[in-house]
């Protein structure tokens, strides 16, 4: 058994907490990372309490000074964290009281750990969202610039992982960028719902003190106080929403990773990744393994798991706060760490990708990727599309047998399938002609790819010129 009951709440208990239970229920080992935001929230709360006359100016100043000293201790690695004090909040409050005496005990007036922790998490997540936002912008910027540089680099486009039609590497990269642009919008939208202040809801019903929640919200940079005290202390939708955003982002990064892994293989050999993003084999000296994209691909499952964990955590909870909610932090923290690491890896790696243009072009040439262009050509000559489809299918079958691409066949070879075909057919059978023909917004024509890259560049510039909070 512990030697005494917890001084922060043990007044009605007749025996101390079991030693195992004490460790089992403590969260300080992982929630200590909230220390800066806990102290920031406490300073704002103390400032508000002084304004409404609950604290004197001297008491407020003592609390603010003491909290600053506590923060310096933590950052210097000199803070005496204690499992007996359960969590980051009680550890900081106890240390503050040691430093400034009974005035430290007045800090908790008008609040509860329930609204305190909800506020801390929102403050912490808001700051972390801004870090994620910046890394996402950095990745998008590098991807856009690489796409603009590779606007003319022809590669095969795939459906079912089979060669379909020629595209350009720049066009493919801008498809990735579109995924990330949607993720960026979701992140910014999520931040709006994070930026609501629970502080003042107290345990669940508010407080009898004449607190001014608008003052505290303004001091902490929140958009507004939460409307309902019951919901304020028990809501974790904002954390679930962030992890849902992270799951979609992880899925997109995993799709990109899969293509990078394929493209670096000897069978594709489309790109080269710098050595600093790869590792070797302990037994096979020739190997250069794309470990960064492989690991990013693998981490998607971990993020998905955290989303399921948080959804399951909340699905059966009655109002208001329950101890279950202590389990919200580790999934959220690990999701943040994982997403930031994946984004940094990609933001560093993507601009350094080197396209092997000749290999990409040869792969596009081998797969009859201009077959649809031949069908479109026949339609423009007056052939019904279904008949054109049949003609082209016969031409491809002939090409497979003769080991010739459509562009390598003579006019006579092509005309055996349709006498509608004439000399001008070779203008559409080249890879360059194929991509250039799709000269519309969203198409593969190099000038359209460059224009799309500029639009993406401009849109990102507008987004990044506005703070994530919208101010």
Structure tokens at 354: 């080197």
Q: What is the pLDDT of residue 102?
A: 96
Helices 88-100 and 113-149 cross at an angle (nearest 10°) of 120
pLDDT in tens, 295-324: 999 999 999 999 999 999 999 999 999 999
Distance CA 179, CA 251 (A): 10
For residue 454, what are its two tokens? Answer: 């500029």
Whether residue 432 has pLDDT greater than 80 = yes
Strand, helix or coil for residue 227: coil
Tokens of 25: 């229920």
The sign of the torsion formed by the CA atoms of 410, 411, 414, 416 equals negative
| Cross-strand bridge partners of residue 154 | 168
pLDDT given for residue 11 in this prediction: 60
User: pTM of the full predicted structure?
Assistant: 0.92
Cα separation, 317 vs 326, in Å, equals: 13
225 sits in which H/E element: strand 224-225
For residue 301, the number of C-alpha atoms closer than 13 Å in the C-beta half-sphere is: 4
Q: How confident is the model at residue 218 (pLDDT cuts 50, 70, 90)?
A: very high
Residue 8 has a pLDDT of: 61
Distant-in-sequence, close-in-space partners of 60: CB < 8 Å, separation ≥ 6 = 46, 47, 49, 50
pLDDT confidence band for 283 (50 / 70 / 90): confident
What is residue 469's predicted lDDT score, i.e. its pLDDT? Answer: 63
pLDDT at 119: 98
Residue 7 has pLDDT above 80, yes or no: no
Round to whole Å and give the CA distance between 80 and 199. Answer: 27
- A 10 A CB-CB count for 461 gives 11
The predicted structure's pLDDT at residue 2: 45
Average pLDDT (119-133) is 98
Each residue of 174-211: pLDDT tens digit?
A: 999 999 999 999 999 999 999 999 999 999 999 999 99
Nearest to 270 by CA among 341, 202, 353: 353
- State the chain's mean pLDDT as an integer: 94
- Whether 471 shows a pLDDT value over 50: the answer reads no
List the catalytic residues: 160, 281
Q: Which residue has the higher pLDDT, 138 or 10?
A: 138
Please report which helix (H) or strand (E) contains residue 25, including its range: helix 19-25
Q: Which domains does the chain have, with CATH numbers?
A: 15-109 (1.10.275.10), 114-200+227-361 (1.20.200.10), 365-460 (1.10.40.30)
């Amino acid at each position: 058994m512990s030697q005494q009951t917890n001084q922060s709440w043990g007044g009605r208990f007749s025996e101390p907490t079991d030693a195992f239970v004490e460790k089992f229920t403590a969260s300080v080992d992982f929630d200590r990372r909230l220390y800066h935001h806990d102290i920031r929230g406490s300073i704002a709360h103390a400032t508000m309490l002084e304004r409404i006359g609950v604290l004197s100016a001297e008491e407020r100043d003592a609390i603010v000074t003491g909290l600053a000293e506590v923060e310096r201790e933590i950052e210097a690695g000199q803070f005496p964290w204690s499992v007996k004090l359960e969590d980051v909040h009680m550890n900081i409050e106890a240390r503050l009281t040691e430093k400034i005496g009974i005035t430290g005990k007045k800090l908790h007036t008008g609040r509860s750990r329930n609204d305190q922790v909800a506020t801390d998490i929102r403050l912490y997540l808001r700051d972390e969202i801004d870090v994620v936002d910046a890394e996402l912008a950095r990745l998008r910027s590098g991807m856009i610039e690489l796409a603009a540089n590779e606007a003319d680099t022809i590669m095969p486009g795939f459906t079912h992982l089979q060669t379909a039609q020629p595209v350009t590497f720049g066009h493919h990269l801008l498809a990735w960028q579109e995924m990330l642009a949607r993720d960026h919008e979701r992140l910014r939208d999520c931040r709006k719902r994070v930026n609501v202040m629970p502080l003042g809801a107290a345990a669940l019903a508010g407080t009898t003190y004449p607190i001014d929640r608008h003052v505290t919200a303004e001091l902490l940079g929140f958009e507004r106080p939460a409307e309902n005290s019951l919901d304020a202390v028990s809501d974790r939708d904002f954390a679930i929403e962030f992890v849902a955003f992270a799951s979609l982002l992880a899925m997109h990064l995993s799709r990109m990773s899969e293509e990078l892994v394929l493209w670096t293989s000897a069978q594709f050999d489309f790109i080269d990744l710098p050595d600093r993003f790869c590792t070797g084999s302990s037994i096979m000296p020739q190997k250069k393994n794309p470990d960064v994209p492989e690991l990013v691909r693998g981490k998607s499952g971990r993020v998905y798991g955290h989303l399921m964990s948080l959804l399951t955590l909340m699905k059966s909870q009655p109002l208001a706060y329950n101890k279950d909610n202590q389990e919200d932090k580790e999934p959220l923290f690990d999701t943040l760490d994982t997403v930031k690491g994946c984004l940094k890896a990609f933001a560093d790696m993507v601009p350094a990708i080197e396209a092997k243009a000749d290999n990409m072009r040869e792969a596009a040439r081998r797969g009859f990727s201009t077959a649809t262009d031949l069908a479109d050509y026949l339609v423009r000559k007056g052939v019904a599309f279904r008949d054109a489809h049949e003609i082209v299918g016969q031409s491809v079958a002939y090409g497979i047998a003769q080991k010739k691409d459509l562009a390598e066949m003579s006019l006579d070879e092509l005309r055996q399938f349709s006498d509608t075909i004439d000399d001008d057919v070779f203008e559409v059978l080249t890879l360059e002609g194929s991509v250039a023909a799709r000269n519309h917004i969203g198409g593969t024509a190099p000038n359209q790819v460059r224009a799309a890259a500029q639009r993406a560049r401009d849109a990102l510039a507008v987004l990044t010129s506005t703070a994530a909070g919208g101010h």
